[in-house]
Structure 1
Amino acid sequence: MDKVSASNTSLLKKMLAALLAFGPGIFAIGYTIGTGSVTSMIVAGSTYGMQLLWVLLLSSFFSGILMYVYGNYALITGETGLYAFKKHLKYGKLIAILIIIGISFGQWNSLMGILGISSNIIFEIIHIYFPTVGDHQYETVLIIAILVIAIMYGLLMVGRYTFFEKILVVFVTIMAFSFLISLFMVYPLPIQVAKGLVPSIPSVEGGKMMVAAFVGTTMAAATFLSRPLFVQGKGWTIKNLKQQKKDAIIAACLVFFISATIMAVACGALFQSGQPVTKVLDMVEVLEPVAGKFALTLFFFGTLSAGLSSIFPCILIAPILVADYQSGKLDTTSRQFKLITFFACLFALIVPVFGANPIEMQIVSQVFNVFVLPLVIIGILILINNKKSRKLYKTSLLVNLSLLGALFFSCVISYNGVLGLIGYFT
């Protein structure tokens, strides 16, 4: 009996060590799979089934390539993305400033939706077991939102990369297992999964915007630009090139696997019954009769973990980009860092305070994220192929072709995003 107990303890320790050994890719998952991604996957899965699985697959692949390239560039040259843009590119300062404004706008808009959805989810979990709180939904959701953002800001003030990483590992692990267990209870038909790998865009109102939202959340420019600073925070050097590559591949695979799982659960539970999701409460009304309270609670905990894992990186993004532009070094104890993150926390409370529909806000904000993508890809393409970089490291033809593919893909999606937004606001 003691031997079995010792064996289980040893296995648990090994699993924990493996999780904590995960590198900067954990931040990529935090940025990518938040409630923005979860919302997009749920809405897509409930409305279009698995039709957009091909978009997710391509986005995850190109995301992995960009993480790998930005990480490699930082380790080889010692320079971060925006700092290198400013230093080496013609009109680099203007490009860097436009990227900072574009990404910060997109991420802070996402942050509003994330906090709104996370607060609503906590409320729904409480409401499942204590129905009487339903009479005070607005007040309860607002109090929850204030408490959540205050706790997150307090954790940020610890100011250590390793601490941020461990917090994200916990959230992402809970999220992944929650959605995986939910998938065993509610799943789509295999033929739907197969059809989802055939490229097609839903020819209905909102279809183009949903495709753009998919790419905006999965190929988030913030993920790539922040990677050099997180690689630095991890303490990696040019000796860790193989480790950096492995980390990028694992992160991209997990992004696809977790996102596809969420879409599949929504497809299995909601698409079959013809009930698309338009608000958080829809998940309660439809999923509970199909899967029961346990599965519903599990799914909500997964979505909540996704939200909490994204609040961290979303608050961090503006000071990260500013520090990247200024010096290529992030000081999490500086006054500048504390002020920018505090303002971001106040900004996040807009949706809970006004009681807006967080799912609608989240979809629209994800679309805005695609517009800086082409700039971010063009910038790194030029950097890795300039004379200085070629002397230090020769980028393979395959990587260059993959980046060109990512650029073409991002331009097509940005065009779709423009059409989608025009249709949304007219």
Structure 2
Amino acid sequence: MSESNINQSLLKKVIALILGFGPGFFAIGYTIGTGSVTSMIVAGSKFNMQLLWVLFLSCLFSGILMFAYGNYALITGETALFGFKKHLKYGKLLAILVIVGITFGQWNSLMGILGISANIIFEILAINFEGLNAFEYETVLGTAIVIIVTFYLLMLVGKYTFFEKILIVFVTLMGLSFLLSLFFVQPLSIDVVKGLIPTIPDVPGGKMLVAAFVGTTMAAATFLSRPLFVKGKGWTIKNLNQQKKDSITAAILIFIISGTIMAVAAGALFYQGKEVTHVLDMANTLEPVAGKWAVTIFFFGALSAGLSSIFPCLLIAPLLVADYQSGTIDTNSRQFRIITAIACLVALIGPAFGANPIEIQILSQVFNVFVLPVVILGIILMLSSKKVMKDYKTSLGVYIGMYAALFFSLVISYNGIMALLDYF
């Protein structure tokens, strides 16, 4: 076999591996958007690797909860909110609260994502066409409108496999861009080890960032949408093992990509005493070390992160409503088109008012934390009900993980309330 044939077959295997990776890509799309990129960069630039422990716990619990929700779907054939409504005592009210809470958080996040993505494109254009600086507001708003209209039109053709393929492209580009960036700058390895020891930065905004971190990495939307994506993939009870591997792989990849972004920011900014307050500051992370190329690579990663999040954020409200009604989603229905159109209009509020997308983004991540305990408690109650699960028994390890996740989410929610009281 010639060398070129070996290389070709290796490339085919890598592509098959990436394409074979299932609903986990939606988990990465939900989790690592510009929200988490922003939180990781701000944290890395302000606190070095001090919050790595929060990231580690969030990813660990995310993996357990994705696994739990996925198993629930494969064994009962039901989706999450439909199950809440059907099996839990105050399930109807609980499900409605969850829909409102998650939609609020995700739509807020969408505003920040669109603002940051449009700003990134403006910065790339401004590097090449200096005359554009005089028309910053108009260019950013125009770009935001073009992005959201394009995504809305793509939604209308949508089928699960179509969304999955687009997400795979964006997520792969994002991961590669940030890993490339890590070659230019690294934090000290002692700081990485220290970051795994739990401490909260005792500075203004420290609590807010911890809450934002959990809100973005341990996102309730990721678990709740899991049954719908597992069903969309066509998986059944025969795919329990595959579902388990998919959950673990997704959690590991989220940790690696997020940790890489934090490390890049710590290596490039923290040691020089620089902080991030605007979109361009994020790209300046790398300019001193690698010049214009680094800025381009980094922007490309951040833009891919933003674009990979727009689909999941637009999808979340119609997904949750469909989940509540019947447990199935019809992307061709009138309801789907109307709800996604409203989400697109909400997304344009930030760019229209010229708001600072980084502040919007971090605030929206904090709001995501408050729905989390309800979503974790719901799945614990359903998995422990013999009536619902019949002969299937969830292992003790998964229960310990879920209760630990519940405790963690309550602590972080309290922390988030304190942070918001300090902020306002």
2:185 & 2:138 partners in 1: Cα distance?
33
1:284 & 1:301 partners in 2: Cα distance?
10
Amino acid at match of 1:274: G
1:110: which partner in 2?
Answer: 109
**Unmatched segments (≥5 aa) in structure 2:** none
Amino acid at match of 2:234: G
1:70: which partner in 2?
Answer: 69
Larger displacement relative to structure 2 (51-60 or 145-154): 145-154
2:238 & 2:285 partners in 1: Cα distance?
51
- Aligned pairs for 1:20-419 (under 5 A) are 20-419=19-418
2:17 & 2:142 partners in 1: Cα distance?
36
Q: Is the 8 A contact 2:35 2:109 kept in 1?
A: yes
Q: Is the 8 A contact 1:70 1:225 kept in 2?
A: yes
What CA deviation, in whole Å up to 9, does each residue of 1:311-341 have, x standing for no partner?
A: 0000000000000000000111111001100
What CA deviation, in whole Å up to 9, does each residue of 1:66-120 have, x standing for no partner?
A: 0000000000001111000000101110000000000000000000000000111
1:205 & 1:322 partners in 2: Cα distance?
38
Amino acid at match of 1:22: F
2:217 & 2:161 partners in 1: Cα distance?
24
CA RMSD of aligned residues (A): 1.1
What CA deviation, in whole Å up to 9, does each residue of 1:238-293 have, x standing for no partner?
A: 00000000000000000000000000000001101111101112134453123211
Q: Cα distance 1:71–1:49, how it changes in 2: closer, same or farther (>3 A)?
A: same
Q: Is the 8 A contact 1:215 1:413 kept in 2?
A: yes
Taking structure 1 as the reference length, what is the TM-score of the superposition? 0.98
What CA deviation, in whole Å up to 9, does each residue of 1:112-158 have, x standing for no partner?
A: 00000011111112222333322211111111111111111111111
Amino acid at match of 2:186: Y
* SS at structure 2 position matched to 1:75: helix
Q: Is the 8 A contact 1:109 1:362 kept in 2?
A: yes
* SS at structure 1 position matched to 2:123: helix
Taking structure 2 as the reference length, what is the TM-score of the superposition? 0.98
Which ranges of 4 or more aligned residues in structure 1 deviate by more than 4 Å?
none
2:115 & 2:267 partners in 1: Cα distance?
25
Q: Is the 8 A contact 1:186 1:291 kept in 2?
A: no
Q: Is the 8 A contact 1:19 1:169 kept in 2?
A: yes
Deviation at 1:3, TM superposition (A): 3.3
Query: How many percent of aligned residue pairs carry the same amino acid?
Result: 71
2:277 & 2:63 partners in 1: Cα distance?
31
2:31 & 2:305 partners in 1: Cα distance?
9
Amino acid at match of 2:381: I
Amino acid at match of 2:113: I
* SS at structure 1 position matched to 2:272: coil
